[in-house]
Copies of this chain bind each other. A is one copy, B any other.
Amino acid sequence: MRYDKGHKAATRQKILETASCEFRKEGIEGIGLADIMGRAGLTHGGFYSHFSSKDELVRQTLSETYDPMKPTIFRQEGQSRDVEEVIRGYLSVRHRDHPEKGCYAAALAGEIGRQPRGTREAFTDLLNKRIADLENGLSPKLSAKAKRGKALAIFSTIMGALQLSRTVPDSETSEEILEAGIQAALGIARS
């Protein structure tokens, strides 16, 4: 063989990581395979020796990218963080301004709802992981059911607020939305 043993796997990983950023930045329908391959340093023709279709790339991106629902820019080593810290990091100006490094759900939830079932299932797995993370940061006194309800509500709130903050052109209003989301999410976490 021409290349090291791990070469093809590394290329595949590079494509996945590039796709992961581009999908979040431009949307799934908003970015083409030729552009993704180009930004991964390759030509478009080689795509199909790694993936069978664009749809499969989307699914693999959701299921193989390392925990992308937990934004790269806020990821920490090891143990889970305080819920307050998670909420403030999620609803930060930095996260708002860097969707390509941020939460998949905030960038893609609308589009995911229109994707084929397989893609929606891959997304659901990711969502459940993120919800479980949030549950771990909640008071251990709560029942499992209460924790899950609160985690779902906190995630809905912060994802919704982040999306809205990204739609508003005026930065003052945008930051007002972030702040309202932080207060509400903290309220849910504490109640």
| Interfacial residues, chain A to chain B (CB-CB below 8 A) | 26-27, 29-30, 99, 105-114, 117, 120-121, 123-124, 127, 148-150, 152-161, 163-164, 166-170, 173, 176-177, 179-181, 183-184, 187-188, 191
Nearest Cβ distance between residue A50 and chain B, in whole angstroms? 25
Contact across chains for A114 and B30 when beta carbons are under 8 A apart:
yes
Contact across chains for A30 and B29 when beta carbons are under 8 A apart:
yes
- Kindly list chain B residues whose C-beta atoms are within 8 Å of the C-beta of A124: 167-170, 173
Can you name 8 extra interface pairs (CB under 8 A) apart from A110-B110, A156-B180, A157-B184?
A106-B110, A109-B164, A109-B166, A120-B168, A121-B169, A152-B177, A160-B160, A184-B188
- Kindly list chain B residues whose C-beta atoms are within 8 Å of the C-beta of A123: 167
Nearest Cβ distance between residue A61 and chain B, in whole angstroms? 15
A121-B169, A124-B173 known; A161 vs B164 contact (CB < 8 Å)? no
Closest to A123 in B: B167
A156 to B169, CA, bound (A): 17
Question: In the complex, which of the residues B148, B163, B170, B191 contacts A160, with contact meaning CB atoms closer than 8 Å?
Answer: B163
Nearest Cβ distance between residue A148 and chain B, in whole angstroms? 8
Nearest Cβ distance between residue A94 and chain B, in whole angstroms? 16
Closest to A188 in B: B184
22 contacts between A and B (CB under 8 A): A27-B111, A27-B114, A109-B166, A110-B110, A113-B166, A121-B169, A127-B164, A127-B168, A148-B180, A152-B161, A152-B176, A152-B180, A153-B180, A154-B184, A155-B160, A156-B157, A156-B164, A156-B177, A157-B157, A157-B184, A159-B163, A184-B188
Contact across chains for A164 and B169 when beta carbons are under 8 A apart:
no
- Kindly list chain B residues whose C-beta atoms are within 8 Å of the C-beta of A187: 187-188, 191
